[in-house]
Each structure stands twice: as C-alpha cells, then as structure tokens.
Chain A
Amino acid sequence: MGEDTDTRKINHSFLRDHSYVTEADIISTVEFNHTGELLATGDKGGRVVIFQREPESKNAPHSQGEYDVYSTFQSHEPEFDYLKSLEIEEKINKIKWLPQQNAAHSLLSTNDKTIKLWKITERDKRPEGYNLKDEEGKLKDLSTVTSLQVPVLKPMDLMVEVSPRRVFANGHTYHINSISVNSDCETYMSADDLRINLWHLAITDRSFNIVDIKPANMEDLTEVITASEFHPHHCNLFVYSSSKGSLRLCDMRAAALCDKHSKLFEEPEDPSNRSFFSRSSPPFWDLNMEARPIETYQVHDYLRSKLCSLYENDCIFDKFECAWNGSDSVIMTGAYNNFFRMFDRNTKRDVTLEASRESSKPRAVLKPRRVCVGGKRRRDDISVDSLDFTKKILHTAWHPAENIIAIAATNNLYIFQDKVNSEMH
C-alpha cells in the first residue's frame, strides 16, 4: 500500500518534469447544458471548467459564437477512507446539468463516491451608497453621517460565483459511473457497479436503492452496471446497461426494487462467431423490439486482429462514450489515435476524423482519416499497427441543437463546428 502511493507520487513528478501530460489535467467528462450555451468539463484533478458560448456578433461574422472559459472551480478533493485504508480519487466521473429554472445554473458533479450539487450565479451589479458602511465595507463614524441615502445598484465587472449547495455522500459502496436527472426535476439517480440509488435533490441524508445486482455470493458475480439514464419524458422509466452489453428497461411503478426488468435488450450471441472478446459496437435498440438491435455500427472493426494485444495492454477495458446529435440522426464516439467517428443513421455513411493540434488549425476543415488493415493502402491512410493507443478519445459531447461537438483528447478540449452551419451565417 505504501508502495502504491509512492508509485503514484513518482509518476506525477516524472510527468511534470518531462512536460508530459499532467495527470490532473486529463479531462474525464464533457457535457453541454440543455441550451448548449454552457459546456462543462471535469478532469482527473477534481476540477470543473465551464465554457460559455459568446453571443454571435453581427460585427464579427467570423466569430461564430465561440466558447470561452466562464468559470473554474474545484469540485472534489482527494479523500481518504480510514476504515478501508483507501484513497478516494477526486476525478470527476460525470457532470449533469439540471434544467434551468431561474437565473442561476445548477449542475451535479460526481467522483467515485460523492455527488455534489453546484449552483452557478452571475453577479454584475453591486449596491453602492450604504449609510453605515463606507466603500471598503468599514463601519462609518456615525457622527459624520448627516443625511440618509438610498443605496443604488451600480454595474460591475461580471463575476461568476459557484457555491456547493448539496453534498450527497455515503450512498455508494462501489464506484459511481453515472448520474441522471429525472424529468420531474426533483429527483436524480446515481449508479455504481452494482447498485442504483434514487435521490431527492433537496435531501442529502437519504437515498432509495432501486437496483441491486449484487449476488449473495460475490463469486457468482459476472456482470456489473456500466451506465444508467432516466427516460427524457417519463419520470418512472429508466434504463441501465451492463458489462455484458445488455440493456434493461425498468419501470419504477412496478416495484420498489427494480431488479426485474420490464424489458431486456440483449444481442444474442452468434455461436459461429464466438470469440473471447466482443468489442462493443454501439447497437441501436427499438424500445418495442427486444429481440435484436435495429442498427449496429462497427466502430473499432479495424482492431479485430489486435484484440489480444489490446487485452494485454489493458486498452480493451477502455470505455468509449457515445454522443448523439440533437435530432438523433448521427451518433458519434471516440477511438484511438485521437480519432473520433460519426455514423449517420439516415445515409448509413460514416466518417473518421482526428482531433490533434497538428492536423487542426483554427477554422481549418478536418480531413477525413482512414485506418487500413493491411491490403491496399492509400496515401494518407494510417495502418492499424501505427495507431497510438495512448491517445484515446473517451469523452465527447454534442450540442443539443446545433452541429457543434466537444472532443476531449487527454488534456485538450477541441470544439468543432459544422462548416455548413457557419457558412449560413
């Protein structure tokens, strides 16, 4: 155990000295808010950075509403669990925005164990002309006060204030992997490897356990929960996915403990194609047709021959998130070598792009990339053997309404816009 912490310390200083990526800066989650005006990122160091889209200016038509830093704050700190002798990582696993109900913005951020509700407010006015206090806030000598004045609000430089409103702690034994806000805007759920809890946003000392897949004997454990999400409109429905690639739709009206799913979506194993690894390709499910997915997209097809090596270097455990565009017609996910891929469900076409400083100057159009698996190789193709497996895009997000995407490549955030979009303006 002592060795563990030492190794971690050594790694950190080594990284800093050699100008490698500082581990704390690695982006671990990306999320647009419901209007797309704000974009939040969380990193391994427990920080949250919020970007705000500048309003488009007619005077500068080239400034197509770019994103600038709006606020930065430390959401989570590393903790130590004394009972188990465990260090709890401060890495932000997920951020979810609450629907905006007043001038303030709110978001939930979570690390492995604790969820926090943050309120983000703006202050651009300041009251001046107090009777009892002077400009610096010091009490005035009352003998100098000869008349009364009404304090007035004067404009000031915009200040963004972030304050923690709730801390939802001690709800999870295992590592939290997802949170989802209910459409009722009153409750939300948090999922760890084996359990899902339902919280009320105003109550921090209690949560309801709604899914528990922990077996009586841990030796019987063969699958874990990987993600869960509420239905966008029906506040009683939610879905959760497992490591075996199945999805379970649950109805909270059916029972208090939603262990029995209402519907199970599982891709049947093709016995002729069995392998030890089934590299997940995102399947699309029709909620009413459970037998097979209606669409399947092979994301990492070119890696089939490399699965053994990917297992050896642990890359096979990388979890790539998917993002949809606003109209659900395109799905996007990240890949290795700082590539990311988009699949158009209507045209059935896909494109592979790269997010890197070298290949993307500001406002340059991204060139489609191709990974070749032996055989004929075109000039700009990348061979599957030269893919850099340390450069992985695990987290991406799509603006809810426009074709703007946010790509997290290790410690860098790339924001790309659709060229067509900007030409129209």
Chain B
Amino acid sequence: MFARGLKRKSPEDGEDMEGGLAGARATPSYSLQRQSLLDMSLVKLQLCHMLVEPNLCRSVLIANTVRQIQEEMSQDGTWRVVAPQAAGRAPLDRLVSTDILCRSVREQEGERPAPDVGDGHTADLVPGLAVVPSAQALRSPQSSLWEVDSSRENRGGFQKSLDQIFETLENKTSGSVEELFADVDSSYYDLDAVLTGMVGSTPSAHANRCLHPASPAASLVG
C-alpha cells in the first residue's frame, strides 16, 4: 500500500527494483506514514496489555506490524531511539519502554516534519507520555551517538514489552493490571474515545466509528 501512489525515485546505479523501493521508502510522506503506523501500533499494544483478556490474534498481528516496521527502519538506517526522558521516574518505566519514538534521519538533519501529521498526530494519540519535548533532543548533533547506544537497550526494552504482553496473555494476574492502572493517568481513558472502545470487549463489535475521509495520514497517499 505504501509503495503504491508514491512517486518512485529513479533507480540507483546498478540496482533495479530494490533501489526504486528504497527510494520510495525514503520519501518523507512514506516515513511519516510509517511513523504514525508505528505509533498507532504501540498504543494498540499498550491497550491490549491493559485488557483483562486480550485478543491473541489481534495482538499478534499488531506485534508483527511493529516488528516489520522495526526491521524496515533498521535496514533504512532510520531506526533512532530516544532515551526516555522519564527514565528517572521508575514507576513509568514499563510504560515508557513500550513508547519508543523513532524519528527519521531527515528530521534530525533539520528538515521540518509536518507537525500536524507527525508529532501532533502522535501527541493526540498519546497525551500522557512525553512525546513532543523529546523531539527537541534530536536536534542536537551530539545526541546521535548517545542514541545509538541507548537504541540497543531500548530495542531490548521494546522486545521486553512485547514479551510482557504475550506473557500476560498466558497468565493474567490482577496484580500486574493494578500496577499499570496505578501509574496511568486518567488521560488514558480518553484513548477509548479516540480509538474504538475496545476495553473489555472485542474490537469488531465496538467499531462504532465511521471512516474519517479527512484523516491526514490517509490523505497523504490518497
């Protein structure tokens, strides 16, 4: 879907399809969409985690999507992770480890991302987490080295959070749910209004929103 409708750059020397695809992937609209997709997926995974009994098929599909994006971004060299600003606040550790913010290399170099699609979109989805301020940290050139190091441990953190989700699917204890709820501020319940109301029931029964034709992410590709 992402490859369609995007103008492909002319293939690099000696490369055919792969060069073209890599070119298509590097365009800002593609990486922005990929970014918003990643953010959406992480939020969904988080909500899965909060459910008493998550839908296994759904969780697996979302996790696969995240892994695929992660792989692609690693290949592109655009996988950059911001160390969580809230590292000092231990109780939020588990939440923040699932909130891995990736910004494309282009953004680092100062190209302005459309704020109402990229950051703004994310900020709307995840009001309770430190999203926007950490984007500023990317601007400093020295941070890139720091990020490469921390990216490894955050990737581990990301993997860890996936594990946690699957473990809870096996063996849900009320203790872990309480812990999560204790840390989350009430804005998380607003997510139910933003996304579909899936808490405690299957998503398909509660998809009571029509498609938004003016959704910015969709309109990019059209």
* B208 A221 Cβ-Cβ under 8 A: no
* B172 A311 Cβ-Cβ under 8 A: no
* B208 A390 Cβ-Cβ under 8 A: yes
- In the complex, A221 Cα to B54 Cα: how many Å? 15
* A223 B211 Cβ-Cβ under 8 A: no
* A window 307-365: CB within 8 A of B: 307-315, 317-319
Query: Per a CB cutoff under 8 Å, which of B52, B169, B198, B222 touches A218?
Result: B169
* B5 A305 Cβ-Cβ under 8 A: yes
Q: How many A-B pairs with Cβ below 8 Å?
A: 152
- Return 6 A-B CB contacts under 8 Å, by A number: A4-B51, A217-B163, A274-B21, A276-B1, A313-B207, A314-B196
> In the complex, how many angstroms separate the beta carbon of B86 from the nearest chain A beta carbon?
24
- In the complex, A233 Cα to B149 Cα: how many Å? 59
Query: Per a CB cutoff under 8 Å, which of A86, A306, A312 touches B195?
Result: A312
* A276 B69 Cβ-Cβ under 8 A: yes
* B215 A86 Cβ-Cβ under 8 A: no
> In the complex, how many angstroms separate the beta carbon of A24 from the nearest chain B beta carbon?
11
Given A389-B210, A389-B211, are A11 and B197 also a contact pair (CB < 8 Å)? yes
* A306 B204 Cβ-Cβ under 8 A: no
Given A86-B53, A314-B198, are A273 and B210 also a contact pair (CB < 8 Å)? no
> In the complex, how many angstroms separate the beta carbon of B102 from the nearest chain A beta carbon?
15
A174 within 8 A of B: yes
- In the complex, A387 Cα to B21 Cα: how many Å? 32
* A44 B40 Cβ-Cβ under 8 A: no
* B21 A272 Cβ-Cβ under 8 A: yes
B74 within 8 A of A: no
A162 within 8 A of B: no
* B204 A392 Cβ-Cβ under 8 A: yes
B33 within 8 A of A: yes
B137 within 8 A of A: no
* B211 A272 Cβ-Cβ under 8 A: no
Interface string of B186-218 (1 = CB under 8 A from A): 000100100111111101111111111101011
| Residues in A neighbouring B21, C-beta threshold 8 A | 271-272, 274
A37 within 8 A of B: no
> In the complex, how many angstroms separate the beta carbon of A226 from the nearest chain B beta carbon?
7
* A314 B4 Cβ-Cβ under 8 A: no
* B177 A1 Cβ-Cβ under 8 A: yes
B114 within 8 A of A: no
* B52 A307 Cβ-Cβ under 8 A: no
Query: Per a CB cutoff under 8 Å, which of B52, B55, B211 touches A313?
Result: B211
Query: Interface centre among B36, B52, B217, by most A CB within 10 Å?
Result: B52
Query: Per a CB cutoff under 8 Å, which of A8, A194, A226, A319 touches B200?
Result: A8
| Residues in B neighbouring A271, C-beta threshold 8 A | 17, 21
A17 within 8 A of B: no
Interface string of A12-31 (1 = CB under 8 A from B): 00000000000100100000
Interface string of A373-405 (1 = CB under 8 A from B): 010000000000101111010100000000000
- In the complex, A5 Cα to B210 Cα: how many Å? 25
B87 within 8 A of A: no
Interface string of B55-77 (1 = CB under 8 A from A): 11110110111011100000000
* A314 B207 Cβ-Cβ under 8 A: yes
* A313 B205 Cβ-Cβ under 8 A: no
A296 within 8 A of B: no
- In the complex, A274 Cα to B20 Cα: how many Å? 13
| Residues in B neighbouring A313, C-beta threshold 8 A | 195-196, 207, 209, 211
**Chain A residues within 8 Å of B, Cβ to Cβ:** 1, 3-5, 7-8, 11, 23, 26, 44, 84-87, 174-175, 193-194, 217-219, 221-224, 226, 243, 271-277, 304-315, 317-319, 374, 385, 387-390, 392, 394
- In the complex, A316 Cα to B222 Cα: how many Å? 18
| Residues in B neighbouring A8, C-beta threshold 8 A | 200-201
* A218 B163 Cβ-Cβ under 8 A: yes
- In the complex, A384 Cα to B157 Cα: how many Å? 40
* A305 B177 Cβ-Cβ under 8 A: no
* B204 A223 Cβ-Cβ under 8 A: no
* A390 B174 Cβ-Cβ under 8 A: no
- In the complex, A219 Cα to B208 Cα: how many Å? 32
Given A3-B199, A4-B200, are A306 and B218 also a contact pair (CB < 8 Å)? yes
Query: Per a CB cutoff under 8 Å, which of B1, B40, B159 touches A219?
Result: B159
* B5 A310 Cβ-Cβ under 8 A: no
* A309 B211 Cβ-Cβ under 8 A: yes
Please give 8 more A-B residue pairs, beta carbons under 8 A apart, in addition to A3-B200, A312-B217, A314-B58: A84-B172, A221-B63, A222-B64, A224-B60, A305-B218, A313-B207, A317-B55, A318-B204
* B37 A85 Cβ-Cβ under 8 A: no
> In the complex, how many angstroms separate the beta carbon of A172 from the nearest chain B beta carbon?
12
Given A224-B57, A311-B40, A389-B210, are A304 and B204 also a contact pair (CB < 8 Å)? no
- In the complex, A308 Cα to B38 Cα: how many Å? 11
| Residues in B neighbouring A394, C-beta threshold 8 A | 204
> In the complex, how many angstroms separate the beta carbon of A119 from the nearest chain B beta carbon?
30
* A309 B215 Cβ-Cβ under 8 A: yes
- In the complex, A224 Cα to B198 Cα: how many Å? 21
Query: Which 9 A/B pairs are nearest by Cβ-Cβ distance?
Result: A4-B200, A218-B166, A314-B203, A275-B1, A385-B213, A219-B163, A193-B56, A224-B57, A309-B218
> In the complex, how many angstroms separate the beta carbon of B16 from the nearest chain A beta carbon?
10
| Residues in B neighbouring A226, C-beta threshold 8 A | 57
* B4 A304 Cβ-Cβ under 8 A: yes
What residue of chain A has the Cβ atom nearest to residue B51's Cβ? A4
| Residues in A neighbouring B58, C-beta threshold 8 A | 314, 317
| Residues in A neighbouring B4, C-beta threshold 8 A | 275, 304
> In the complex, how many angstroms separate the beta carbon of B25 from the nearest chain A beta carbon?
10
> In the complex, how many angstroms separate the beta carbon of B125 from the nearest chain A beta carbon?
9
* A219 B166 Cβ-Cβ under 8 A: yes
Given A221-B60, A317-B58, are A276 and B2 also a contact pair (CB < 8 Å)? yes
